[in-house]
Amino acid sequence: MAEQAIAQCIRQAAQGRPCLEKTLWGLRDQEAGWIGAEVPNADGSHDLGPLQINSWWVPRIAARISRPEANVRHWLKFDPCFNAEAARWIFLVGLSPSGDYWKAVGLYHSPVEWRQQRYANFVAKRIARRFDQEKLPVRGGAVDARNEAATARIER
C-alpha cells in the first residue's frame, strides 16, 4: 500500500515529464527510504522520507513555502507526495545553473564533486535497471535536460 502511494506521488511530482519521472524513480531506488523514515547521518543531519531528503533542506523549503520548519520536517517524513515534490524541486534547483542532468543528480546527494559523480553513477544504474535500459540522458551531458532546466528557472 505504501509503495503504491509513493509511486502515485512520484508520477504527480513528475507532472507528465518522462525524463523527470525516471529521475525521481532513480533517486527513489537509490535512496530506498520509506514513509516515516528519519535516518541519521554522521554530520548530525537526517535523511527524511521515501526519497531521503536531507534535513539540511528543511529551512530552505520552509522559507520557500512560508511554513514552520517543524511542519516541513514532519511532511517530508510522513507525506510521500510532499517528499516527492521536494525531491523534484531539489533536483531542478541543481539542474538550473548548468543544465547538466547528471551534475544535478549528483547535487541531490552532495555538494562534493567526487561524491556527486559516484552517486550519479549509482542512480544511472538504478534508472537503467528499472526502465530496462530505455533511453536516458547522455552521461555527463545535458541532452534531455534542457526543458527541465527551463522549468527550474521558472520555478525558482
21 within some domain = yes
37 within some domain = yes
Distance of CA 52 to the CA centre of its chain: 8
Average per-residue pLDDT for the chain: 88
Distance CA 16, CA 29 (A): 19
149 within some domain = no
pLDDT the model gives residue 141: 45
152 within some domain = no
154 within some domain = no
Using 50, 70 and 90 to split pLDDT, how confident is the model at 6? very high
**152 in Cβ contact with 93 (< 8 Å):** yes
* Residue-number span of the structural domain to which 114 is assigned: 1-132
Distance CA 16, CA 65 (A): 23
Using 50, 70 and 90 to split pLDDT, how confident is the model at 134? low
pLDDT the model gives residue 149: 43
Return the number of other C-beta atoms located less than 10 Å from residue 12's C-beta. Answer: 15
Average pLDDT score over residue span 60-83: 98
The total domain count for the chain is 1
Q: Which residues of 22-57 are buried (b: 16+ CB within 10 A; e: fewer)?
A: bbbbbbbbbbebebebeeeeeeeebbbbbbbbbbeb
Q: What is the pLDDT of residues 10-43, one digit of tens each?
A: 999 999 999 999 999 999 999 999 999 999 999 9
CB-based contacts of 122: which residues, under 8 Å, 6+ apart? Answer: 30
151 within some domain = no
CATH number for the domain spanning 127: value is: 1.10.530
146 within some domain = no
84 within some domain = yes
pTM: 0.84
